[in-house]
């Protein structure tokens, strides 16, 4: 799950809450509680007075889990098909001279990864950064 750069700044969300790819990464309830408290304090909501409006740690963890499940489904589908559908999709739009790199770059600017990472070139693990960005862009549309 990605969070816009503007929201990260506005709510003062530290980089430690994000993976190198730029996805929200809450390893446990403690971190989720810290982030929920930070968000609620910035929008002046307390759980005791505004229960319907408050961000809950469990909601953050649930949203992150749903996002990870969707990423896993894409991974399983690609594995079962025996090919990288994301790489093929990027190749297809590139051959049609569509401005995919400018779209991916804009997405990376809006939803940044780790500081100093090159959003379009290179690898994260063994996956091309362009494929990660495309997958996350698709997840943004699905969610």
Per-residue pLDDT of the chain (143 residues; tens, 9 = 90+): 999 999 999 999 998 999 888 899 999 999 999 999 999 888 876 666 667 788 999 999 999 999 999 999 999 998 998 778 899 999 999 899 888 989 999 999 999 887 656 778 888 888 889 999 999 998 887 66
Residues 10, 42 contacting (CB under 8 angstroms): yes
Range of the domain at 103: 5-142
- What token pair was written down for 105? 């770059």
Distance in angstroms (rounded) separating the CA atoms of residues 104 and 57: 30
Report how many domains make up the chain. 1
| pTM, two decimal places | 0.82
Helix/strand/coil for 89:
helix
Residues 86, 131 contacting (CB under 8 angstroms): yes
């Amino acid at each position: 799950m990605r969070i816009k750069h503007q929201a990260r700044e506005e709510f003062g969300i530290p980089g430690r809450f994000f993976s190198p790819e730029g996805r929200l990464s809450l390893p446990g309830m403690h971190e989720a509680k810290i982030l929920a408290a930070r968000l609620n304090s910035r929008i002046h909501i307390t759980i005791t007075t505004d229960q319907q409006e408050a961000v809950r740690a469990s909601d953050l963890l649930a949203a992150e889990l749903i996002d990870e499940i969707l990423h896993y489904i894409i991974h399983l589908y690609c594995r079962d098909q025996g090919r990288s559908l994301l790489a093929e999709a990027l190749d297809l739009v590139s051959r049609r001279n569509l401005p995919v790199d400018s779209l991916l770059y804009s997405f990376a600017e809006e939803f940044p990864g780790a500081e100093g990472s090159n959003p379009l070139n290179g690898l994260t693990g063994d996956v091309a950064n362009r494929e990660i960005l495309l997958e996350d862009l698709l997840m943004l549309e699905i969610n």
